[in-house]
């Protein structure tokens, strides 16, 4: 059998073989949960039935379609906040890495910002930036600033003396050393910081929405749970998970593309592409 | 190096006998005071609206008000901190226990992985309204929120600390016929504990954030409620005083955890090794007849 089936099929079989036990376990959990609620072991007001959650998802996404607006509002807030926070963080980190005095006189403020629970700023930020999207973006930016700053700075400060010496011995300028040696060495850490930052940006957006907002999954969630509509509330929570997964995996994708040399397959693909480009230029 | 030393000495001589360190501290203070001065001047000249951006002097005045004259911050600080500690202990037990359980058991690990990924992507603090609806207003739902927010870091760190055992060392232990208990005590834990402690540190910070969010939603007592009420009344100076209180608190937590870490995972630093080594030597001294 195995000698006539193509390679892809066995891979598919393997995948199936790996996934089926997971699915069985998941189904089992759902069935026990459903039964426990139906038989009255768990109050459905506190923990609703899985089928009720499923119904709420269908209603939110397909029947009424109320979720989409809120979903994209929160997604936009988190992403814009992240972009602002990340660009400030990376700029400050690069300045700190390039200039010792800058680092010395800026770092105390960064540390103060780090030890303050950023979430405590929620009411003040809402007073400053209003009830709209501005305050959510601002809180997301504040919360995601520090992990990105600290990771970028750590990445840029790690010096590989041997390689630097090699660069100098072939006459590289300081700018070249920075661009070709220190930045690529810092990128993996920078992306690790970005991944953390993106998650915290989402937290910032959602918490600001809890406090005061008219749109966004955070508002939807608190509205549903104060109506004791737990099924819809959990469905909204799953939507937040979805936002989180979308953000995380898009960052993972960028990480894969930009820091391609860290992974064997990506490095091979990149070198193949380079080889093709060279061959085309050579007129082959 | 010598050239640099003479240069700094020369600079020190020129700047009135201050050492490099003293001059840096002075410059730090100068920058800080200039910033504060600019802020104060901006507020007084009407560039910054004092309704939203309170003057530094009025923040200081608020510190006096909430700490000494009214003294209302103490009760709220106590309310928040007792919640944070209770939730943090609960979350730590849950996180470390679950992490160890999952870490030592490959089957459980395999089946739990997808749920961990989903849980990691969810903004866990978002469960707050749900928990309040389920458990009602009051301390129980707040502690539940804190546990939920802070259990994850110890969980992940315990898991990775337990799983990432140095293979070479493990082989050495096996070849010397170490028992499972010995492997755990002498190999796994010494490497895992610093990682777990790092998780605990993150958890304590997360617990403080969780407590604040819970108090923002419930608005009855605690620092979160205090900040919210002051901001709603546009009493920004007091609100800032509360925030700076939290900054100090965060700093104390950070330093405190560092100290605890230093003493528990003593083998990770020179001073701790020396301290414990000295103590052992004192204990063993009479026995070996030193």
pLDDT in tens, B179-197: 888 888 888 888 889 899 9
Instruction: Please report, rounded to a whole number, the percentage of residues in chain B having pLDDT higher than 90.
Output: 35
pLDDT digits (tens, 9 = 90+) for B4-22: 444 444 454 455 567 888 8
What is the CB-side half-sphere exposure of residue B240 using CA atoms within 13 A? Answer: 19
Mean pLDDT of A237-249: 92
Question: Lowest mean pLDDT: which of B10-19, B103-112, B246-255?
Answer: B10-19
Cβ contacts of A105 on chain B, cutoff 8 Å: 27-28, 31
pLDDT of residue B12: 47
Question: In angstroms, what is the C-alpha Rg of chain A?
Answer: 25
pLDDT digits (tens, 9 = 90+) for B116-129: 888 888 888 888 88
Taking the alpha carbons of A156, A159, A160, A163 in that order, is the dihedral positive or negative? positive
Whole-number Cα distances in Å, A267 to A49, A109, A256, A261: 47, 39, 10, 5
CA nearest to A130 within chain B? B52
Closest chain B C-alpha to A86 CA, distance in angstroms: 19
Interchain CB distance below 8 Å, A210 and B52: no
pLDDT digits (tens, 9 = 90+) for B146-185: 999 999 999 999 998 888 888 898 899 989 998 888 888 8
Q: Is A70 exposed, middle or buried (0-12, 13-18, 19+ CB in 10 A)?
A: buried
Interchain CB distance below 8 Å, B217 and A240: no
DSSP code of residue B67 = I
CB A218 within 8 A of CB A206: yes
For A57, the token pair is 């998802």
pLDDT of residue B6: 47
Interchain CB distance below 8 Å, B126 and A211: no
Which range has the top average pLDDT, A135-139, B99-103, B138-142, B282-286?
Answer: A135-139
Going by pLDDT thresholds of 50, 70 and 90, the confidence category of residue B74 is: very high
CB B142 within 8 A of CB B159: no
Average pLDDT, chain B: 86
pLDDT of residue B130: 86
DSSP code of residue A181 = I
CB atoms inside a 10 Å sphere around CB B203? 28
A137's enclosing H/E stretch is helix A133-157
Which of B133, B140, B206, B214 should be substituted to probe chain A, the one whose Cβ sees the most A Cβ atoms within 10 Å? B133
Question: A59-273 architecture in CATH?
Answer: Orthogonal Bundle (1.10)
Q: Which of B286 and B240 is assigned the larger pLDDT?
A: B240
CA nearest to A203 within chain B? B123
Interchain CB distance below 8 Å, A120 and B236: no
Mean pLDDT of A4-16: 60
Mean pLDDT of A241-270: 86
For B120, the token pair is 């990691």
pLDDT digits (tens, 9 = 90+) for A157-209: 888 889 889 998 998 888 888 888 888 889 989 999 999 999 999 999 999 99
Cβ contacts of A229 on chain B, cutoff 8 Å: none
User: Which one, of B152, B116, B121, lies nearest residue A200 by Cα?
Assistant: B121
CB A252 within 8 A of CB A195: yes
- pLDDT at B52 exceeding the cut of 90: no
pLDDT of residue A137: 96
What does the alpha-carbon distance between residue B18 and residue B207 come to, in Å, rounded to a whole number? 43
- pLDDT at B211 exceeding the cut of 90: yes
Mean pLDDT of A97-106: 89
Interchain CB distance below 8 Å, A120 and B251: no
> Helix H segments across chain B?
2-14, 20-44, 56-64, 72-104, 106-121, 128-135, 139-150, 152-163, 167-175, 180-183, 189-218, 223-232, 236-264, 270-288
Cβ contacts of A116 on chain B, cutoff 8 Å: 243, 246-247, 250
DSSP secondary structure letters along A5-34: S-HHHHHHHHHHHHHHHHHHHHHHHHHHHH
What does the alpha-carbon distance between residue A222 and residue A213 come to, in Å, rounded to a whole number? 11
Query: Would you say the ipTM is above 0.85?
Result: no
User: Domain spanning B63-269: which superfamily?
Assistant: MetI-like (1.10.3720.10)
Interchain CB distance below 8 Å, B213 and A22: no
Place of tokens 């407590």: B211
Q: Is B91 exposed, middle or buried (0-12, 13-18, 19+ CB in 10 A)?
A: buried
Q: Who among A115, A124, A228 is closest to B247 (CB)?
A: A115
Interchain CB distance below 8 Å, A115 and B254: yes
DSSP code of residue B134 = H
Helix axes A122-129, B236-264, angle to 10 degrees: 140
User: Which one, of A238, A239, A240, A266, lies nearest residue A252 by Cα?
Assistant: A266
- pLDDT at A1 exceeding the cut of 50: no
User: Which one, of B54, B61, B67, B71, lies nearest residue B234 by Cα?
Assistant: B54
pLDDT of residue A191: 92
| DSSP count for chain A of H helices, then E strands | 12, 0
For B143, the token pair is 């502690």
Interchain CB distance below 8 Å, A124 and B240: yes
User: Which one, of A81, A63, A53, A77, lies nearest residue A239 by Cα?
Assistant: A53
Give the alpha-carbon dihedral of B87, B90, B93, B99, to 10 degrees.
Answer: -70
pLDDT digits (tens, 9 = 90+) for A36-87: 988 888 888 778 899 999 999 999 999 988 899 999 999 999 999 999 999 9
Question: In angstroms, what is the C-alpha Rg of chain B?
Answer: 26
- pLDDT at B96 exceeding the cut of 70: yes
Q: Is A90 exposed, middle or buried (0-12, 13-18, 19+ CB in 10 A)?
A: buried
pLDDT of residue B67: 92
pLDDT digits (tens, 9 = 90+) for A110-160: 888 888 888 999 999 998 998 889 999 999 999 999 999 999 999 998 888
CB A200 within 8 A of CB A147: yes
Q: Is A79 exposed, middle or buried (0-12, 13-18, 19+ CB in 10 A)?
A: buried
């Amino acid at each position: 059998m195995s000698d006539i089936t193509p390679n892809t099929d066995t891979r598919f079989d393997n995948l199936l073989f790996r996934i089926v036990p997971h699915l069985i376990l998941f189904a089992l959990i759902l069935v026990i949960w459903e039964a426990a609620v139906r038989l009255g072991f768990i109050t459905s007001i506190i923990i609703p039935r899985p089928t009720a959650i499923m119904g709420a998802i269908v209603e939110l996404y397909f029947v009424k379609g109320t979720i989409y607006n809120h979903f994209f509002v929160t997604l936009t807030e988190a992403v814009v906040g992240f972009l602002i926070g990340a660009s400030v963080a990376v700029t400050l980190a690069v300045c700190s890495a390039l200039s010792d005095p800058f680092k010395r006189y800026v770092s105390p403020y960064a540390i103060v910002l780090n030890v303050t629970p950023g979430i405590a700023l929620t009411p003040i930020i809402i007073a400053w930036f209003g009830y709209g999207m501005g305050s959510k973006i601002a809180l997301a930016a504040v919360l995601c600033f520090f992990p990105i700053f600290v990771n970028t700075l750590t990445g840029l400060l790690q010096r590989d003396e041997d390689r630097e010496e090699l660069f100098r011995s072939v006459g590289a300028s300081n700018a070249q050393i920075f661009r070709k040696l220190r930045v690529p060495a810092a990128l993996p850490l920078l992306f690790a910081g970005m991944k953390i930052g993106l998650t915290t940006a989402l937290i910032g957006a959602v918490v600001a929405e809890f406090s005061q907002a008219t749109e966004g999954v955070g508002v939807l969630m608190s509205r549903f749970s104060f109506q004791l509509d737990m099924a819809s509330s959990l469905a909204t929570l799953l939507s937040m998970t979805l936002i989180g997964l979308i953000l995380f995996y898009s960052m993972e994708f960028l990480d894969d593309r930009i820091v391609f040399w860290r992974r064997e397959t990506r490095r091979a693909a990149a070198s193949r592409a380079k080889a093709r480009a060279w061959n085309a230029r050579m007129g082959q | 190096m010598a050239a640099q030393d003479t240069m700094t000495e020369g600079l020190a001589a020129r700047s009135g006998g201050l050492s490099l360190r003293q001059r840096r501290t002075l410059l730090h203070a100068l920058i800080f005071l200039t910033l504060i001065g600019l802020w104060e001047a901006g507020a007084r000249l009407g560039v910054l609206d004092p309704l939203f951006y309170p003057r530094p002097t009025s923040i200081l005045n608020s510190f006096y008000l909430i700490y000494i004259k009214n003294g209302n911050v103490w009760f709220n600080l106590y309310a928040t901190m007792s919640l944070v500690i209770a939730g943090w202990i609960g979350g730590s037990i849950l996180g470390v226990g679950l992490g160890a359980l999952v870490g030592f058991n490959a089957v459980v690990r395999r089946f739990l992985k997808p749920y961990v990924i989903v849980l990691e992507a969810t903004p866990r603090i978002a469960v707050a309204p749900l928990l309040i609806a389920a458990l009602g207003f009051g301390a129980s739902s707040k502690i539940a929120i804190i546990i939920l927010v802070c259990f994850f870091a110890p969980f992940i760190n315990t898991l990775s600390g337990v799983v990432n055992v140095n293979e070479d060392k493990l082989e050495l232990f096996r070849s010397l016929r170490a028992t499972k208990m010995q492997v755990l005590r002498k190999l796994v834990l010494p490497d895992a504990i610093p990682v777990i402690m790092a998780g605990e540190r993150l958890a304590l910070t997360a617990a403080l954030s969780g407590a604040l969010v819970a108090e923002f939603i419930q608005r009855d007592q605690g620092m979160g409620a205090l900040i919210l009420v002051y901001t709603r009344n546009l009493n920004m100076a007091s609100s800032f005083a509360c925030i700076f209180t939290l900054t100090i608190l965060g700093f104390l937590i950070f330093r405190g955890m560092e100290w605890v870490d230093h003493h528990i995972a003593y083998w990770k630093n020179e001073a701790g090794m020396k301290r414990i080594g000295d103590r052992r030597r004192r204990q063993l001294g009479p026995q070996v007849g030193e």
